[in-house]
Structure 1
Amino acid sequence: MRTDRRTTTLWWFIAAQLVLAVGTTLAGWPQPILNVVLLVVIVAMHALRRYTLASFAVFAGITFVVSNVYENLSIVTGFPFGDYYYSDALGLKLFLVPLVIAPAYFATGYFSWQIAHVLLAVRDARPRGRDVVLVPLIASFVMVMWDLVMDPNAATAGGSWIWEDGGGYFGVPVSNFAGWFLCVYTIFQLFAFYLARRGPAAIRPEAETVGDAFWYQAIVPYVSVALVLTARFLTREDGIVTDPAGQNWQLADLGETTMLVSVFTMYFVALLSTLLVGRSRRDRTPV
């Protein structure tokens, strides 16, 4: 059953709220926890159109366990992200990791998962055959884009987490991105295995008939992130921030670099995904 006009309008309103939530979070507004909660609520409303409540809970559970294990392990041992620790800026912690981190992984991971389906032209809610591996792989690359544009500011001017030995990318080491890829790939691959094992029982009966608006709404967060970074570049402030390794970084350079990176990652993926959804619609239209 196709989404009717009223439902489509409702979901676009929700997508607009998502822009606000993602944008204010990345802009460093003082309510990151509230914004992540809003993101999770929006993700739930979007995801439960395709996945059963049980599948949704499994994805949330996998994300919570895997992200916390990897993050706490890295803070204690340095593997897989590197040597870092969280400041008190993000609130209460579970062991050494703020409680808000796992929901943030969950929300951004969900949209990366959906974008991977678009890029691979996989409309099935349940990956099959080689897509059981390909969807998690592509979703992991797409997911790391978030960290590529977010971490430099959060780890320096934002002060949300601290890299003890610094790094070449505005105080962030290469190991951080390798660790992120490993972490999110583990999450996606476990979820793909779950969906493959559960079969049709993992998805809603109407899952394969969602309209194009469903896919466009999953693209909105990527546009939002890129727009925020562009706005930050246009309103950049002069100044210097020093990382724990003693390296000085120009705030203007940080803003310009992350904006430029977002153009060829977030903007590009959003544009390509939008074109692919539109092309898919044309291919399904009888001539």
Structure 2
Amino acid sequence: MLTGTGAWQSEARMKVLTPLCWVLLVLTVLAAAVMAVRPSLAAQAGGAQMGFLILFVVVHAWLGYSARGMAAFVVIAAVVAFALEAIGVATGFPFGSYVHHLPGPKPLGVPPVAVASWIMFGWLAWALARVIMRPAPGVAVGGAERFTTPIVATFILGGYDLVNDPIGATAHDWYSYDHPTGALGVPLTNFLGWLLTGWLIFQLVALVETRFPARPVTQSRGYWLLPCLFWLSTATQVFTSLIHPAEGVAVRGGKTIQIADVYESGASAALFTILLTGIMALVRLYSRQPSPR
């Protein structure tokens, strides 16, 4: 327990970093608004959103887990994600045979942004699962909940992938599959691979999180409200795309796919994945006793 000067410094950092998280959320929403009204700036706005989310995850995880706990989550997610992505590129397991097309360095065929995505969206999914599954989301638990929370987090993260991977594989051509069957050019094996990778990350985190006691800020409702709202904001792209439907087609596996249909399918899937889990977390969060601060 911190006392004296250490406690004061910790409290001062909290007072600075917590408002920063809210500022990042507002900036993320503004970037989404830019995508809606200025489609020509969608790429720049999307990049800005990614930057805001990276910074938010680092700050939010540090606030709740401390620097050591945040580093543990990042290392576990990065190592597992990179290992399975590299194995997937080399062997086709567990995602199916595929290749990344993003420019820039790709160690063992894996672009760094792919690993960063696992970390960012993994943290949001982990936070939502803790809100939904645990009596107090800031308290690490043992027993069955040590294994059920990772399972729920796995499917929350898988829902994000179900919405966005078809967009990445067609509209953006970020990656392609040797056998592009299934959901708009994305094979079922890809989603199964996401479930396996996500589960490994979350289960390992659950097994070590008791070593990193939660900070007092995790007792506040506002701390958990932030990842819920950020999670809901990840669906903005597919919904704003309906305002200005994308033109063009993509040919995958001999099939011609309308890009506008890909976005509309993503919006439909988001209703029952990203929005559903975000709303569930909010309901669970506000069904508890009011936060002391």
Which TM-score tier does this pair reach, normalised by the shorter chain?
0.7 to 0.9
The separation in 2 between residues aligned to 1:208 and 1:87, in whole angstroms, is: 39
Query: Quick check: 1:170–1:254 contact (8 Å CA) kept in 2?
Result: yes
**Offset at 1:162?**
0.8
Number of corresponding residues:
276
Q: Does 1:79 align with 2:87?
A: no
CA gap of 1:59–1:229, structure 2 versus 1, over 3 A, is same
Q: Does 1:215 align with 2:229?
A: no
Query: Quick check: 1:23–1:228 contact (8 Å CA) kept in 2?
Result: no
Query: Quick check: 2:62–2:69 contact (8 Å CA) kept in 1?
Result: no
Partner of 1:149: 163
Alignment partner of 1:252 out of 236, 240, 260: 260
CA gap of 1:206–1:237, structure 2 versus 1, over 3 A, is closer
Query: Quick check: 2:134–2:145 contact (8 Å CA) kept in 1?
Result: no
TM-score normalised by the chain length of structure 2: 0.84
Alignment partner of 1:173 out of 187, 192, 213: 187
**Offset at 1:234?**
2.8
Q: Which amino acid aligns with 1:218?
A: P
Q: Does 1:52 align with 2:61?
A: no
Q: Which amino acid aligns with 1:206?
A: P
* Mean CA deviation greater in 125-134 or 184-193: 125-134
Query: Quick check: 1:22–1:225 contact (8 Å CA) kept in 2?
Result: no
Cα deviation code 1:69-102 (max 9, x no counterpart): 101101111100001000034x321221001111
CA gap of 1:112–1:173, structure 2 versus 1, over 3 A, is same
Partner of 1:15: 25
The separation in 2 between residues aligned to 1:208 and 1:237, in whole angstroms, is: 41
Q: Does 1:102 align with 2:115?
A: yes
Q: Which amino acid aligns with 2:240?
A: A
* Mean CA deviation greater in 42-51 or 119-128: 119-128
Q: Percent identity?
A: 26
Q: Which amino acid aligns with 1:235?
A: H
Unaligned segments of structure 1, at least 5 residues: none
CA gap of 1:122–1:112, structure 2 versus 1, over 3 A, is farther
The separation in 1 between residues aligned to 2:55 and 2:235, in whole angstroms, is: 22
Cα deviation code 1:207-241 (max 9, x no counterpart): 542x1111111112222122321111232134321
Query: Quick check: 1:86–1:162 contact (8 Å CA) kept in 2?
Result: yes
The separation in 2 between residues aligned to 1:24 and 1:78, in whole angstroms, is: 38
Residues 92-241 of structure 1 aligned to structure 2 (within 5 Å): 92-123=105-136, 124-196=138-210, 198=211, 202-209=212-219, 211-241=220-250
Write 1 or 2 for the structure with the bigger share of helix: 2
Q: Which amino acid aligns with 1:227?
A: T
Query: Quick check: 2:217–2:223 contact (8 Å CA) kept in 1?
Result: no
Alignment partner of 1:70 out of 84, 107, 111: 84
**Offset at 1:122?**
3.7
The separation in 2 between residues aligned to 1:22 and 1:143, in whole angstroms, is: 21
**Offset at 1:181?**
0.5
Query: Quick check: 2:24–2:53 contact (8 Å CA) kept in 1?
Result: no
Query: Quick check: 1:74–1:81 contact (8 Å CA) kept in 2?
Result: yes
Q: Which amino acid aligns with 1:29?
A: A
Question: SS at 2:26's partner residue?
Answer: helix
The separation in 2 between residues aligned to 1:208 and 1:6, in whole angstroms, is: 16
Cα deviation code 1:251-281 (max 9, x no counterpart): 2221221111111111122222212211113
Cα deviation code 1:126-173 (max 9, x no counterpart): 232211101111000001111111111100120101112111210000
The separation in 2 between residues aligned to 1:271 and 1:76, in whole angstroms, is: 38
Query: Quick check: 2:169–2:186 contact (8 Å CA) kept in 1?
Result: yes
The separation in 1 between residues aligned to 2:45 and 2:82, in whole angstroms, is: 22
Query: Quick check: 1:21–1:38 contact (8 Å CA) kept in 2?
Result: no
Cα deviation code 1:31-85 (max 9, x no counterpart): 8666544422211111112102111111111111111110110111110000100
Question: SS at 1:241's partner residue?
Answer: strand
Query: Quick check: 2:218–2:224 contact (8 Å CA) kept in 1?
Result: no
